[in-house]
Homo-oligomer: A and B are copies of this chain.
Amino acid sequence: MAPTHTPARSDTGKRAGLDRDDIVDAALALVEANGPGALTMRKLAAELDVTTTTIYWHIGGRDELVGAVIRRLSEHLAERAIEGDTAADRVVHAALCIWDSALTNRHVTALAHREGASSLLALPMEITLLRELEVAGLHGVAARDAHQAILLCVAGFLVIALRPERAVPLGYRSEALWAEVAPHGITDATLRAQREPAELASLLPITLRAIVDAALRTVQETP
C-alpha cells in the first residue's frame, strides 16, 4: 500500500522516480496478497501508477520479473535452526523446514512451482538439507540422490497442499472421484478411507522417515 521507496528520492525530477527494487517489492506484495495469478504486467503497472512499458524498461520481461520476485523472498526467508538428536532426525527436520516454509509462503511458492523455479526459492534450505545428509554419512552421488528423492517427495506433497481452491470444476479431486467408483477387490474400510483426504502434515514426516532410513542404511552396510 504505502510506497517503499524513500521520499528523499521523490525529487529526482523524472516523473515516477521508480526503482527496480520498488517494482520487485510491489510485485512480491501483489503475489502475497492476491496469489500468483495476480502477477500481471498490467496489474503491476496499475499498482505503481505507471505504464507497462516502464516495467519492461526496468526489469526486461515477465520471466525476469518472476525470477526477481522469487529471489527477493528467498533472501528474506528466515534460516531456521535444525533440531533432532539422531542424524536421521535432523535430515527429516531439515526437509520439513522446506515444507513449512512453502506453506507459510504459499502464494510465492505456488508461483515458483508453476514457473519451474522451486529451487530458486528454496536453495538455502536445500543446502542445509544436503549438509545434514553429509553429516549423516552420505557423500557424492549417494548424497545427491537422497537429496533429490527427499526434495521431490516434498514437492509432490506440495502439489496437493498448494492446489488453489478453484482448480478444476466439480470434483476432479481424488476424494470426489473415489466416491463415484465401486471397484472390486477393495474392502469397504479402505474405500471409505479413500473418500476423505489424507492428513498430509502427518503423512509427510512418516514418508520422509522411510526414505531417509533407507538411504542411511546403505551407508551403514558399506563402512
The verdict on A147 contacting chain B, using a C-beta distance below 8 Å, is yes
Partner of A130, one of B66, B134, B194: B194
The verdict on A189 contacting chain B, using a C-beta distance below 8 Å, is yes
Tell which of A10-18, A31-39, A117-125 binds the partner.
A117-125
In whole Å, how far is A159's beta carbon from the nearest beta carbon of chain B? Answer: 5
Within 8 A of B (CB), among A114-138: 115-117, 119-120, 123, 127, 130-131, 134, 138
Quick check: A134 and B190 within 8 Å, CB to CB?
yes
The verdict on A172 contacting chain B, using a C-beta distance below 8 Å, is yes
Total interface residues on A, CB under 8 Å, equals: 65
Tell which of A21-29, A46-54, A207-215 binds the partner.
A207-215
In whole Å, how far is A184's beta carbon from the nearest beta carbon of chain B? Answer: 9
Quick check: A210 and B214 within 8 Å, CB to CB?
yes
Closest to A187 in B: B139
Quick check: B116 and A198 within 8 Å, CB to CB?
no
**A194 surroundings in chain B (CB, below 8 A):** 130, 144, 147
In whole Å, how far is A205's beta carbon from the nearest beta carbon of chain B? Answer: 11
Quick check: A207 and B172 within 8 Å, CB to CB?
no
| Chain A residues at the B interface, C-beta cutoff of 8 Å | 63-64, 66-67, 113, 115-117, 119-120, 123, 127, 130-131, 134, 138-141, 143-145, 147-149, 151-157, 159-160, 163-164, 167-170, 172-174, 177, 181, 183, 185-187, 189-190, 192-194, 198, 200, 203, 206-207, 209-211, 213-215
| Additional 10 contacts, C-beta under 8 A, given A134-B185, A140-B193, A153-B156 | A116-B163, A116-B167, A139-B189, A143-B190, A144-B190, A148-B203, A152-B153, A210-B213, A211-B211, A214-B214
